[in-house]
Amino acid sequence: MNLLLYLAAIAPAFIIAGIIFFLDKHERENYQPLLLTFGLGMLSAIPALGLQILASKLGFDPMENLWFLLLDVFIVVALSEELVKFIMLMVYPYRRPFFNEPMDGIVYAIMVSMGFAVVENVMYAYNHGIETVIVRAFTAVPAHAIFAVFMGYFVGLSKFHPASKWRLIGFGFFLAVMVHGIYDFFILQRYYDWLMAFGLVTIIVGIYLSWLLIKDHRDNSPFKVTVESGTAVEEPFNIQTYTEETDGEPLEDS
């Protein structure tokens, strides 16, 4: 029973990681950097969850009033979790040569986030059992993927738009934290039961927007295969041409 419980806890993250792997169809990433990034995501859960445990032991009670709840969902939870995931994304895959198209921002952000989600879900499985694991498979785990897509979309753009690099990175990080905090607020607040439904609305809208962002990077991939005279031909990746087509600015070392 315990084995099935923990398999159920880790399965949603691996399924989402597999989906994004196959959606990245024009220049699919190698397994080694994907698995390493996934592992870094698992590692990133330690400091984030440690901070949340520390806040709990210090007597911080988010249910005490609205301001404590907002501080908890946006700072203690959303900011800490998205920050450690962001650091792992920037420290390893972002700086490597295999990060060679904007779509890679989404792919590797998802890997980090799903690694994080595995550790978080295993802890929930241990403490709360199968019912919580099943609910999280359709709520918290997809939510982590949504936050990753929002962050990864703009981090991916930043690699190839050096003039706007930090503005794009900052906006992607800010967006992930804000959406994460909003989702957690709807789920954790105990003032009005009907507000909890907006957590589900956030997921549904987030999945739709995530698909649009994924489709945008995939459809505009510099590795996209075109058809010429009935024969599939892979377009050569010319980063100078790519940046000129997007914002007219030459690429600089990042």
Q: What is the domain partition of the chain in residue ranges?
A: 2-246
Is 32 a residue whose pLDDT tops 80? yes
CA distance 222 to 106: 15
Task: Give the per-residue pLDDT at 246.
Answer: 52
Name residue 232's beta-bridge partners: 227
CA distance 114 to 107: 11
Least confident of 5-14, 64-73, 81-90, 230-239: 230-239
Contact assessment for residue 243 and residue 250, using Cβ atoms and an 8 Å cutoff: yes
Q: Could you give the percent of the chain with pLDDT greater than 90? A: 69
Neighbours of 186 (CB within 10 A): 19
Cβ neighbors of 242 (< 8 A, separation 6 or more) are 160, 222
Task: Give the per-residue pLDDT at 65.
Answer: 78
DSSP reduced 3-state for 213: helix
Q: Could you give the percent of the chain with pLDDT greater than 70? A: 86
Contact assessment for residue 9 and residue 124, using Cβ atoms and an 8 Å cutoff: yes
